[in-house]
Amino acid sequence: MHLRHCTAAVLTVLLFALAASGGELLDRIARNMGAIRTLQTDFEQEKQLKAFAFPVRLTGELCMEQNGRLAWIVREPLPYTCIIEGSRLTQWDADTDKVVTVDTSRNPALRILAESIRRLLAGDPRAMLDRFDVVREANPLELKPKPGATGFLAGIQFRFSEDLSRMEEIVMTESSRDITRIRFRNSRINEKIPEKKWQPRQK
């Protein structure tokens, strides 16, 4: 199963929420994000690996609720789902058609991720400030992890809409220098999320 892929997806949402902390620009972003109870958005993910000449592309949908429940749903090229609810992380992929559930309380890294999501989306965005530094407080916003905070991430960049009302793009640079670019579009805010989105099998 794609545990690291799921961890990267969760970290994307964590850093999405982390953007609501800090100085004047981040305070403006925080005010906008504070009104978000639910979010559904389509995404296009492009990962440029040093070992390959061409990028790996994924498309899908991200759903999240303020209480910390989230679903990262990959539609193409190979359907895959990662759902986090409380201390439970559930994965499914079309290749194996297997559903695997992990208790995040038994895995320190996943426990930190899951707990951070809960705190951040519950309105406690400063929960992650001990792990990240603001490199550039502008649009795009640039952050980097503090020493020892994360093993594979070297830096991250957030690009917002001109009025700072929505996230448009996230660019993550890994320590290996692999680059992941995620673009968001067709965002739906505070609409009821269909219950089927929380089911692992998304055929």
How much of the chain exceeds pLDDT 90, in percent? 20
CA–CA gap between residue 87 and residue 172 (Å, rounded):
25
Mean pLDDT along residues 9-30: 60
pLDDT one-digit tens code per residue, 116-163: 555 555 555 555 566 777 787 778 878 788 886 666 778 888 888 888
pLDDT one-digit tens code per residue, 156-176: 888 888 887 777 888 888 888
What is the average pLDDT value for the chain, to the nearest integer?
A: 77
Q: CB of 113 within 8 A of CB of 99?
A: no
Q: CB of 44 within 8 A of CB of 56?
A: no
Is-cis flag, bond preceding 140, omega within 30?
A: yes
CA–CA gap between residue 94 and residue 177 (Å, rounded):
29
Mean pLDDT along residues 16-31: 62
CB neighbours (10 Å) of residue 133?
Answer: 14
CA–CA gap between residue 200 and residue 105 (Å, rounded):
20
Q: Which domains does the chain have, with CATH numbers?
A: 3-188 (2.50.20.10)
